Amino acid sequence: MKPVLVVTRRLPDAVAERAAQSYDIRTQEGDDPLSRNEILTLCHGADAALVSVGDPIDAAFFEELPDSVKIVATFSVGTDHIDLAAAKKKGVIIGNTPGVLTDATADIAWLLILGAARRASEGEAEVRNATWSSWRPTHLMGTQVTGKKLGIVGMGRIGQAVAKRARGFDMEIHYYNRRQLPADQEFGATYHNSMDALLPQCDFLSLHCPSTPETRGMVNTDFISKLPDGAIIVNTARGDVVNDGDLIAALKSGKLTAAGLDVFAGEPNIEPAYRDLKNTFLLPHLGSATVETRNAMGFRALDNIDAFIAGKDVPFTV
């Protein structure tokens, strides 16, 4: 008899095939978010659970989780949807998927930088809505990226990959991180040991820090006031790092030229004002959404579960 694996969302084909070879899969028919109770119901008598970004894996979940489930692997590197303290208290191991979504996420950060700078949302809307009248010298003029200053908050793997790409645009790169990196990981970027020192240097600012009690709401009016007038912010990290009301006010006042956002507080129910602003370039949390990366994430999540079921060390735990 195969061990029973609860899977909360539809998996990429290659991942689903591999999972089915080793496990008796218990899942839903569709692909909508499941409630805590629906996930718990699936977990009765199961051996492991494979959950996703946004699933409510909170303290109440762990209180009710059947004792048979001793590992919860998330199909993500981020674990802000999981109450890690409650998992520890219950003795449940949490697996995640670091290291495999670096390039895909850095590419999306660059899509946001270029999309926000070059007014891609407005341009695409004109073509789609047939409101494009003609070529004209002043039509949808944006901001040049080449030669500008890019600030990176959080110089982990993804921040470094964004910096590496920025060199191709001849940008001057600056970063803030808890500690300075060795020169071979800086990609020519200048280190600042405080956010206050970094922010005045940034024509563009790209966020790559996790959501923690320290970073939640970090991008507020005070933070934004330290950026040069007309700066552009992009976020591929977590939505709640930004104070939505303050960012929207800065986009309306012109303090910021534009914002590119792939992540939002309360996804998918985002702050509606973002939709009405012309100077936002918005994506639905697509940072890791390539076939190659989603397969690699799924395989890493299964590696975590396989190791646990085989009584081995789980390779990627938090």
Positions touching ligand DGY (CB under 6 A) are 53, 76-78, 101, 287-288
Closer Cβ to ligand DGY, 201 or 260, answer by number: 260
Chain-centroid distance, C-alpha 256 = 22
d(CA 266, CA 280): 18
Closer Cβ to ligand DGY, 80 or 122, answer by number: 80
Closer Cβ to ligand DGY, 258 or 296, answer by number: 296
Residue 95 C-beta: closest distance to ligand DGY, Å: 12
User: Is 172 annotated as catalytic?
Assistant: no
Is residue 158 within 8 A of residue 102, CB to CB? The reply is yes
Outline where DSSP puts E strands in 144-255: 149-153, 172-176, 190-192, 204-207, 231-235
Which position among 18, 157, 238, 300 bears the catalytic label? 238
Closer Cβ to ligand DGY, 108 or 155, answer by number: 108
Residue 104 C-beta: closest distance to ligand DGY, Å: 8
User: Is 285 annotated as catalytic?
Assistant: yes
Closer Cβ to ligand DGY, 27 or 76, answer by number: 76
Is residue 22 within 8 A of residue 2, CB to CB? The reply is yes
Residue 284 C-beta: closest distance to ligand DGY, Å: 11
H/E segment holding residue 303: helix 291-309
The owner of tokens 């040049």 is 144
Residue 296 C-beta: closest distance to ligand DGY, Å: 11
Residue 114 C-beta: closest distance to ligand DGY, Å: 19
d(CA 76, CA 297): 7
Query: Within 10 A of 55 (CB to CB), how many other CB atoms are there?
Result: 23
Closer Cβ to ligand DGY, 148 or 157, answer by number: 157
Closest residue to ligand DGY, judged by C-beta, is 78
Q: In a 10 Å sphere around its CB, with 0-12 CB exposed, 13-18 middle and 19+ buried, how is residue 54 labelled?
A: middle
Phi, psi dihedral angles at 306 (to 5 degrees): -55, -45
The owner of tokens 């949808």 is 140
Which position among 38, 126, 267, 271 bears the catalytic label? 267
Residue 50 C-beta: closest distance to ligand DGY, Å: 13
Which position among 285, 292, 294, 300 bears the catalytic label? 285
d(CA 289, CA 283): 11
CB environment 290-317: b (16+ within 10 A), e (fewer): beebbbbbbbbbbbbbbbbbeeeebebe
Half-sphere exposure of 16 (CA within 13 A, CB side): 9
Closer Cβ to ligand DGY, 201 or 215, answer by number: 215
Residue 110 C-beta: closest distance to ligand DGY, Å: 15
Which is it for the CA torsion 118, 122, 124, 126, positive or negative?
negative
User: Is 238 annotated as catalytic?
Assistant: yes
Catalytically active residues are 238, 267, 285
